[in-house]
Amino acid sequence: MTPEDLPIRNATYRLFAEHGRAPTVDEVAVATGEGSDVVRAAWRRLQDGRALVLDGDGRLLMANPFSGVETPHRVEAAGRTWYANCGWDAFGIGVVLRADSTIHTTCADCGDAIDLDVRGYRPTDPDPLFHVLVPARDWWSDIGFT
């Protein structure tokens, strides 16, 4: 990741929040005035710098806390439906949007729905638990699993 990549990274995040979905390379190119090849190369460097995650075809998969694809962690916030990469990211969506949210996820044990209202960045139901499988030093070794 280079300093020149940051405007592309920041435009990518801004467009994600504005559109409620992952922007394409071409959309970021238009927004930044750069060529698509420039954006594509910047995204690869940003991925190397752990600033976002691409899929095998170079499309945006994760701009944490946002997920570019549907996941089991659905979040209602700011009048839209979003998808998060994990429970931690699900709480992050309301934070980055500066909005109250409702998180719809499932219990990893029984599969039953867990619906969490989040007001002022805090859950109204404090009872559910969050379990982190992977030690912090390994979080980026396999970010999809983490």
- Cis, bond preceding 7 (omega within 30 deg of 0): no
Piece of the chain touching another protein by CB under 8 A; list 27-35, 36-44, 75-83, 103-111? 103-111
Distance, in Å, from the CA atom of 101 to the CA atom of 65, rounded to the nearest integer, reads 14
Binding status of residue 137 toward another protein by CB under 8 A: yes
Which of 112, 113, 74, 120 lies closest to 95, judged by CA? 120
Distance, in Å, from the CA atom of 21 to the CA atom of 80, rounded to the nearest integer, reads 10
Give me the least distance between CB of 111 and another protein, in Å please. 10
Scan residues 1-40 and list those touching another protein (CB under 8 A).
1, 6, 9-10, 13-14, 17
Piece of the chain touching another protein by CB under 8 A; list 27-35, 37-45, 53-61, 136-144? 136-144
- The binder of another protein chosen from 56, 79, 126, 144 (CB under 8 A): 126
Binding status of residue 131 toward another protein by CB under 8 A: yes
| Cross-strand bridge partners of residue 75 | 82, 103
Angle at 97 between CA 123 and CA 146, to 5 degrees: 65
Distance, in Å, from the CA atom of 29 to the CA atom of 8, rounded to the nearest integer, reads 8
Give me the least distance between CB of 115 and another protein, in Å please. 11
Binding interface with another protein (CB under 8 A): 1, 6, 9-10, 13-14, 17, 49, 51, 64-65, 86-89, 91-92, 95-97, 105-110, 112, 114, 116, 118, 121-123, 125-140, 146
